[in-house]
Amino acid sequence: MIAEDTISQVLERASILDFAQEVGSLRRQGKNVVALCPFHSEKSPSFHIRDDGRFYYCFGCRASGNALSFVMKMRGLSFPDAIRQLADLYSIEVKETKRSQPKQERRSQHLLRKINDLANTFFQGQLQSAPESVLQYLHSRKLSQETLVGFEVGYAPSEWRALTDYLRKARVPDALILESGLARKNTKGELYDALRGRVVFPIRSGDRHLIGFGGRSVPGDSHSDNDQSPKYINSPETRLYHKSQVLYGLPFAQEAARKSGEMFVVEGYFDVASFHQYGIAQTVATCGTALTADHVRLVRRLVNRVVLLFDGDQSGIDSS
């Protein structure tokens, strides 16, 4: 738990004016600074920031609060995460009480994020030399190169230990490779890659930390496209990734959702990327799981209107 002293320092130092790039064009009006409201669509500025940057109020949608609540709403963050981000910005030491997350746990999470970053670099590099069938499949999904790059789409090669060997060369211990969910053990106790022969989508949390991956089988690939292999595979539950609490694409959707006042919830990674490509950026996906209470809480931090667009099969009906 974050100490009260840290929270007090953050509240004292934080100014909404330090986040001007997230508000947009600002202009002074009397003692206040005004701008177009970032939380709803409007043509005339009704978003007022007090001249000391400590308080905001929108005369259009009635949104109001201090710098902390502004950051929470703009970035879809929880209270502790927002405090940590602001403390980092203002170089304030985050002091914690005994009930807080142990230092070892935070260190473990940091290491797992670093491993995910390495894997993401590997997957994106592999896409450049992926088999023609993979490139043809991506072409059939009508995603532009800009969209593929923007969503960091990669490819997990079909070899059994391509990623594992890559991580080992980077001196990542086998125990951490296993803990990250990027590899599994066979009956002989040997590691093999969890994602093979799949198009890979990195999964980021609302604050843009890389917490896991999703892989889609490639039609015609013997390693991933068969009766025994599921079409989609997500990272297993780890210290970082909890499937029922994650919405794919949330970092990309937050700004558009706040401005439009609504969020579209779809089933898969390709759905999200396609919606964004065609200008519907306020779109996230449940990554194959049913909509949960945690998903709803994530969305309700940003908008009041949610549109469910699940597939018409039994799985989609169950998810909704």
List, in sequence order, every beta strand (DSSP E) within the chain.
27-29, 32-35, 47-50, 56-58, 64-65, 154-156, 183-185, 191-193, 198-204, 210-217, 232-234, 262-266, 283-285, 305-308
Asked whether residue 53 carries a pLDDT value surpassing 80, the answer given is: yes
Q: What percent of the chain has pLDDT over 70?
A: 92
Is 98 a domain residue? no
What mean pLDDT do residues 72-86 have? 87
What mean pLDDT do residues 120-126 have? 96
Predicted pLDDT at 311: 64
DSSP class of residue 290 equals P
Asked whether residue 154 carries a pLDDT value surpassing 90, the answer given is: yes
Please state the separation of Cα 181 from the chain's center in Å: 18
**Are residues 17 and 36 located together in one domain of the fold?**
yes
Is 9 a domain residue? yes
Domain enclosing residue 273, as ranges: 250-319
Predicted pLDDT at 314: 41
Q: What are phi and psi of 158, to 5 degrees?
A: -75, -15
Residues paired with 33 in a beta bridge: 28, 49
Report the range of poorest mean pLDDT among 77-91, 108-122, 196-210: 77-91
CA distance 235 to 195: 9
Higher pLDDT, 188 or 223: 188
What mean pLDDT do residues 193-202 have? 96
**Are residues 231 and 172 located together in one domain of the fold?**
yes
Check which CATH number belongs to the domain holding 290 and give it: 3.40.1360.10
pTM of the model: 0.69
Q: State the total domains in the chain.
A: 3
Is 97 a domain residue? no
Asked whether residue 319 carries a pLDDT value surpassing 70, the answer given is: no
Predicted pLDDT at 320: 43
Predicted pLDDT at 99: 57
CA distance 290 to 190: 33
pLDDT grade for 318, boundaries at 50, 70 and 90: very low
Higher pLDDT, 287 or 259: 259
Report the range of poorest mean pLDDT among 4-8, 89-93, 231-235: 4-8
**Are residues 141 and 211 located together in one domain of the fold?**
yes
Check which CATH number belongs to the domain holding 70 and give it: 3.90.580.10
pLDDT digits (tens, 9 = 90+) for 234-252: 998 898 998 888 999 999 9
Asked whether residue 225 carries a pLDDT value surpassing 70, the answer given is: no
The SS3 assignment for 170 reads: coil
**Are residues 112 and 35 located together in one domain of the fold?**
no
- 5: which 2 tokens? 């002293």
What mean pLDDT do residues 33-37 have? 91
What mean pLDDT do residues 220-238 have? 74
Is 236 a domain residue? yes
Q: Which residues contact 43 (CB under 8 A, 6 or more apart)?
A: 36
Predicted pLDDT at 293: 86
pLDDT grade for 112, boundaries at 50, 70 and 90: very high
Average pLDDT of the chain, as a whole number: 87
